[in-house]
Amino acid sequence: MDIIKELGPLAIASRMKRLAELVFKQAINVYRVHGIDFEPKWFPLFYLLSQKESIGVMEASEHLNISHPAVIQFVKELEKKGWVMSEKSPEDARKRILKLTEKGWAFLPQLQEIWDNIKTVNQQLISKEAHDLMRSVEAFEQYFLKDGFYIDYYQKYIDEKSK
């Protein structure tokens, strides 16, 4: 019995979290096969830094659409690995600038090869099993980014109360 599956639309957030956990677990296994201690949660920030070369914490937060504290947490973890560094901005001492270290740049080709393989497998899965998955995920993200659920729920609640 799979209660989350049986709950259907009521448990969509739980179902998506479970799917994300399954994907992350598999990705961790892929990295381990290559002898790499790399967490999938670091991927967006590491990739962003490989594209931007240097970026402020707030700007990274905006590009990734994740919280400032989440970026800080990932930076601390990546700094411990020696792959990322942060330094004060020359223009504003309150602002932290992030960049890959030499070790991070040296590590990038190995990660890029893995990412290319993961992308190929994901593309095959999406085209074979879930052709509308990416479009549906995008629609969900946009809806929730605009507080759609809360507003719709609240309006329904107000409508019910006024009856």
Q: Which of 1.10.10.10, 1.10.1040.10, 3.40.720.10, 1.10.357.10 would CATH assign to domain 39-130?
A: 1.10.10.10
Residue type, 36: I
Question: In 130-146, which residue ranges form alpha helices assigned H by DSSP?
Answer: 133-145
Rounded Cα distance, 19 and 33, in Å? 21
What six digits make up the tokens of 9?
A: 């639309």
Residue 162 has pLDDT above 80, yes or no: no
Q: Where are the domains of the chain?
A: 1-33, 39-130, 132-163
Angle at 22 between CA 123 and CA 130, to 5 degrees: 35
Tell me, what's the pLDDT at 128?
A: 65
82: confidence class by pLDDT, cuts 50, 70, 90: very high
Rounded Cα distance, 16 and 22, in Å? 10
Q: Quick check: helix, strand or coil at residue 36?
A: coil
pLDDT per residue as tens digits for the range 48-70: 999 998 999 999 999 999 999 99
Report whether 64 contacts 47 (CB < 8 A): no
Tell me, what's the pLDDT at 45?
A: 97
User: How far, in Å, are 67, 77, 107 from residue 81 at the CA level?
Assistant: 22, 7, 11
Chain mean position to CA 37: 18
Residue 56 CB-half CA count within 13 A: 11
DSSP 107: H
Provide Rg for the chain, Cα atoms: 20
What six digits make up the tokens of 39?
A: 């967490």
Tell me, what's the pLDDT at 144?
A: 67
pLDDT per residue as tens digits for the range 9-39: 778 888 889 888 988 998 999 999 999 999 9
Report whether 79 contacts 85 (CB < 8 A): yes
Tell me, what's the pLDDT at 109?
A: 96
Residue 156 has pLDDT above 60, yes or no: no
